[in-house]
A and B are shown apart, each in its own frame.
Chain A
Amino acid sequence: MAGVGLGPLRTMGRQALLLLALCATGARGLYFHIGETEKRCFIEEIPDETMVIGNYRTQMWDKQKEVFLPSTPGLGMHVEVKDPDGKVVLSRQYGSEGRFTFTSHTPGDHQICLHSNSTRMALFAGGKLRVHLDIQVGEHANNYPEIAAKDKLTELQLRARQLLDQVEQIQKEQDYQRYREERFRLTSESTNQRVLWWSIAQTVILILTGIWQMRHLKSFFEAKKLV
């Protein structure tokens, strides 16, 4: 690594700006199209104390040029994250490009919903939005070069750190599996109980109704002097 920034602070500042500009190109990769008021939800089933990082970038469809504009200021995306109990963990408005992070405190299905909240509704009428999305969960969310720089780790130490993180994720997933299995078992036992009690109850009701019918009809026919 040559001493590139050995010059004055100004050069380093310019480099930092260049990097920020490169950072601003945002998440690449998978994208999908979303309508104007459409809400798109994704579900992440995660154990507790797991960090989730989501990066997105939006592009608007230009009807005249029939192409997606590279970046569109004024577009907003509303991100809402709900935990398994339905409680809202994160509900924020971001710009046309954004990054959201949350850490789960209860294990289970977290729902991440995105919908556009555009301020330029007129241009948007009938148009569509292209959303690039990238969601990283748990160990994948770690930024290893940053960790290496912060803790001054060698390459081997960094590899070991990655292995430790992976094993930690496996352990958390196993704990979560135990919790899920318990829930499953409770549901099955509840079904078992319900089937048992309802069957007994229905048989009893059937017998009682039969007895009532016969007694009622008997008294009816006796009253009619038929019996």
Chain B
Amino acid sequence: MGSAAPRSASLLLLLLLLLLLRAEQPGGAELTFELPDNAKQCFHEEVEQGVKFSLDYQVITGGHYDVDCYVEDPQGNTIYRETKKQYDSFTYRAEVKGVYQFCFSNEFSTFSHKTVYFDFQVGDEPPILPDMGNRVTALTQMESACVTIHEALKTVIDSQTHYRLREAQDRARAEDLNSRVSYWSIGETIALFVVSFSQVLLLKSFFTEKRPISRAVHS
């Protein structure tokens, strides 16, 4: 009980610090959602003043793989607007504290629903232990090596994500092509039969109703 009390107390304090720090800015979201045709979907996030945020988005499946996107600041001014973009990246330093909203619109399309991926990052990545953030001394060589590796691995994971999205897009197109080949081939065969039967029937009808005029026969 004697040694357990201070240890669990320090654990509680640690968790408390963590929760308080979570109340501060760093954060972000990476989501993939479906956008039906003629629809618009908006997301909102509260950003503190002076914090830099970035929005990356990409259309994965659907139609011509394009979407409209706009970002508005808390006062309603449009700080970014693009139409029919396949993918883009937007960075901005928030001048005003408040709720920023970004919307994706598929209102120009009448029948294709789209799948959109976006990655909204606010501020810097939080340290994994709360008290890592407020160090007094410089990092040791081991620690700075760890930081370097961590940043490099984050780049690797990011490029893997982009590669995965591209591959998903290509694969969707390939599967679409695969099923289209089947349907069109079956359709063409049926059309072929229909046309050849009606050709024969039509020719026969020419020669059964009235007396033959010429002896030339088209085949």
Is the pairing of A and B real? yes
Chain A neighbourhood of B132, CB < 8 A: 155
Counted as pairs of residues, one from A and one from B, with CB atoms less than 8 Å apart, the total is 197
Contact of A28 among B22, B199, B217 (CB under 8 A): B22
Q: Is B181 an interface residue (CB 8 A)?
A: yes
- Distance in angstroms from A209 CB to nearest chain B CB is 4
Residues in B1-29 with C-beta less than 8 Å from chain A: 5-6, 8-16, 18-20, 22-23, 27-29
Chain B neighbourhood of A41, CB < 8 A: 33-34
Q: Are A5 and B171 in contact (CB under 8 A)?
A: no
Q: Is B149 an interface residue (CB 8 A)?
A: yes
| A15–B16 alpha-carbon span in the complex (Å) | 9
Secondary structure at the B interface, as helix, strand, loop or mixed, is helix
Q: Is A141 an interface residue (CB 8 A)?
A: no
Q: Are A202 and B33 in contact (CB under 8 A)?
A: no
Q: Is B196 an interface residue (CB 8 A)?
A: yes
Q: Are B150 and A162 in contact (CB under 8 A)?
A: yes
Measured CB to CB, the nearest residue on chain A to B9 is A5
Q: Are B164 and A217 in contact (CB under 8 A)?
A: no
Contact of B219 among A22, A169, A181, A217 (CB under 8 A): A217
Interface size on B, residues (CB 8 A): 75
Q: Is B177 an interface residue (CB 8 A)?
A: yes
Known A-B contacts A158-B129, A191-B178, A220-B204; A145 and B15 likewise in contact (beta carbons under 8 Å): yes
Chain B neighbourhood of A29, CB < 8 A: 27-29, 45, 122
Contact of B34 among A30, A43, A159, A213 (CB under 8 A): A43
Q: Fill in one digit per residue for A33-44: 1 if any B CB lies within 8 Å of its CB, else 0.
A: 100000011111
Measured CB to CB, the nearest residue on chain A to B219 is A214
- Among the listed stretches B64-72, B80-88, B90-98, B187-195, which one makes contact with chain A, having 4 or more residues with CB under 8 Å of it? B187-195
Q: Are A191 and B8 in contact (CB under 8 A)?
A: no
Q: Are A209 and B18 in contact (CB under 8 A)?
A: no
Chain B neighbourhood of A12, CB < 8 A: 5, 8-9, 12
Chain A neighbourhood of B188, CB < 8 A: 202
Measured CB to CB, the nearest residue on chain B to A166 is B153
- Distance in angstroms from A222 CB to nearest chain B CB is 11
| A98–B148 alpha-carbon span in the complex (Å) | 36
Q: Are A33 and B192 in contact (CB under 8 A)?
A: no
Known A-B contacts A19-B19, A22-B16; A30 and B189 likewise in contact (beta carbons under 8 Å): no
| A39–B38 alpha-carbon span in the complex (Å) | 16
Secondary structure at the A interface, as helix, strand, loop or mixed, is helix
- Among the listed stretches A70-78, A81-89, A193-201, which one makes contact with chain B, having 4 or more residues with CB under 8 Å of it? A193-201
Interface size on A, residues (CB 8 A): 75
Contact of B14 among A3, A5, A135, A149 (CB under 8 A): A149
- Distance in angstroms from B103 CB to nearest chain A CB is 10
Chain A neighbourhood of B14, CB < 8 A: 1, 145, 149
Q: Are A226 and B43 in contact (CB under 8 A)?
A: no
Q: Is B167 an interface residue (CB 8 A)?
A: yes
| A149–B12 alpha-carbon span in the complex (Å) | 11
Q: Are B171 and A187 in contact (CB under 8 A)?
A: yes
The 3 closest A-B pairs by CB, nearest first: A5-B9, A198-B185, A144-B128
Where the two chains meet, the residues of A that have a C-beta atom closer than 8 Å to any C-beta of B are 1, 3-6, 12, 15-16, 18-19, 22-23, 28-33, 40-45, 133-135, 137, 144-145, 148-149, 155-156, 158-160, 162-163, 166-167, 169-170, 173-174, 176-177, 180-181, 183-184, 187-188, 190-191, 194-195, 198, 201-202, 205-206, 209-210, 212-214, 216-218, 220-221, 224, 226-227
9 new A-B contacts at CB < 8 Å, known A5-B9, A188-B174: A4-B13, A6-B9, A30-B29, A145-B130, A156-B146, A158-B128, A163-B146, A177-B164, A201-B189
